[in-house]
Amino acid sequence: MNITGISFSISLTMKNIRNKMKKIIWPILAMILITTGGRAQNKLWTFQQCLDTAWQRNISINQSRLSNELNKVSLEQVKANRIPSLSANASEGLNFGKNVDPTTNSYVTQAYHSTNFGVSSSLNLFNGMQNANTIRQNRLNVQAGQYDIEKVKNDVTLNITTGYLQVLFAYEILSAAKSQESATAAQVDRTGKLVNAGKSPESDLLQIKSQLATDNLSVVNAQIQLNLAKVTLMQLMEIPITDNFEVEVPVQTEPPIELGQTNEEIYKKSLEVQPQIASASLKTNASLMALKISEGARWPRLTLGGSLSSNFASSRTKGTAVNPENYPFFTQIWDNIGQSFSLGLSIPIYNNRQIKSNIDRAKINAMTTQLSEQNTKNVLRKSIEQTYTDLRAAMKKYGATKEQLAAVESVYLNAEKKYDVGVMNATDFLIQKNNYTQSQSNLIQAKFDYIFKQKILDFYQGKEIKFN
């Protein structure tokens, strides 16, 4: 037996198996790495995605939708009142002793059982137009309910806009803080070299290092504020809090330096597009319709009714008393069929002042809804006037802050050059640096305050809120 040949053959077989396993395992590992890497990438939430998620998950919006579904159910119920009602009945009785045979209306003393069938229908021909006016009222309620949904969605939109801008603002503050930290770190290196070369005192290095520690703290605080802003936005979106939540930072254009419209023009436009105004108007009309419904109770009511009935009694026979014959069930039912039609008129004369009281309540409710509609308009007008005034102030502040930053920046750059060549000491340099940092922060705040108020005015005019 050739042992060497056998060993060589086995080794070749094991090598082939390893090669095949590699061909199988490596693609699987590659797929796992690709999948894991894809999951590790953070999703960037756009403003529209944040808004769509909030619209879908917000409890108040869904409650408003369900509330309007109840209005639709009420409307369908009132419509059904125009259709004749139809009911059927059946009964079975067992009688003992002396009773009246329902098929002959004669007394019988024997025990017997009886069966009754009936179908009845009624139709309201006239009731003071109450049905028609109730249908109109419920249609108005459904339309108002739809606008109420839009009103809640608008409230959510404003909240998401505020939260989204807070995150963008925190991003810029953090970026500015990191930039200042990097600049200070570079100054520490330069100052260290100057101290080692004997061109600057060691106190300058200590002051710059102290400033670096302050800048590090500013970065930490800015990161904390960013995290808090993200948490607020995620809560507004009704999604679980996650650490890898990031929003897309859009490329923003320079805010305009002039207002193209007056507050009166914006208010007139908002009256046409804001859902709370349309809802209030519809609710006023619905209350006026309720008044007509109450007044309709004074009119007479005319109803039409009809019925079909039959019965069976086991005591009833055919033929004569001497030669009685059996009276079959279905034959007796057919022979006993009876029909009736009725036309009823009801005239209200006095009902303990109920109609008068209902009318008085409806009048008061109508006046209340009219005042509510006017108050809704007043609240909108005041909000627009306040936002418009704030926007003008924010626009002026933004322009002035830009000019201030430009002036402070030139002073800072000049001070940095002097400090680098050893002409200015660290104390004077840090004063200019801190002034520059504060001016940067002021400009970021002024810019986002201006952008927010501008978005609000656009929102009042029915314009879509965008960040690009």
What is the extent of the structural domain holding 369?
A: 47-83+127-299+348-460
d(CA 335, CA 313): 12
Cite the beta strand spans of 63-144 per DSSP E.
85-95, 99-101, 106-108, 112-126
Is residue 460 within 8 Å of 263, Cβ to Cβ?
A: no
Q: Are residues 250 and 315 in the same domain?
A: no
Contact 305, 118 (CB under 8 A): no
Range with top average pLDDT, 283-287, 307-311, 457-461: 283-287
Which residues, 6+ apart, have CB-to-CB distance to 345 below 8 Å?
A: 300, 301, 302
Residues 260 and 135 in one domain: yes
305 in any annotated domain: yes
Instruction: Judge if 96 and 110 occupy the same domain.
Output: yes
The verdict on 307 and 294 lying in the same domain is no
> Do 407 and 418 share a domain, yes or no?
yes
> Where is the domain boundary, 321, 346, 371?
346
Residue 466 domain-assigned (yes or no): no
pLDDT in tens, 86-142: 999 998 878 776 777 676 667 776 777 788 889 999 998 888 899 999 999 999 999
Domain membership of residue 468 (yes or no) is no
Number of structural domains (the chain) is 3
Q: Which of 229, 221, 222 is nearest to 163 (CA)?
A: 229
Q: Is residue 465 part of a domain?
A: no
Structural contact between residues 401 and 446, judged by C-beta atoms closer than 8 angstroms: yes
User: Do both 401 and 334 map to the same domain?
Assistant: no
Residues 456 and 341 in one domain: no
- Residue 427 forms part of a structural domain: yes
Same domain, 264 and 403: yes
Residues 310 and 438 in one domain: no
Pair 243, 342 in one domain: no
Tell me what percent of the chain is helix, strand and coil, each rounded to the nearest 5.
65, 15, 20
Determine, yes or no, domain membership for 61.
yes
- The structure's pTM equals 0.80
Q: What is the pLDDT of residue 21?
A: 46
Residue where a domain terminates, one of 316, 331, 346: 346
Residue corresponding to tokens 């260290």: 192
Tell me which amino acid residue 315 is. Answer: S
The reply to whether 160 and 24 lie within a common domain is no
Residue 467 inside a domain? The answer is no
Amino acid at 18: R
The CATH number that applies at residue 133 is: 1.20.1600.10
pLDDT tens-digit map of 6-43: 333 334 344 454 554 445 444 444 444 334 443 334 67
Dihedral of the alpha carbons of 167, 169, 170, 174, in degrees to the nearest 10: 140
Are residues 363 and 304 located together in one domain of the fold?
Answer: no
Read off the pLDDT of residues 350-394 as tens digits, 9 standing for 90 and up.
888 899 999 999 999 999 999 999 999 999 999 999 999 999 999
pLDDT tens digits, one per residue of 198-223: 888 888 889 999 999 999 999 999 99
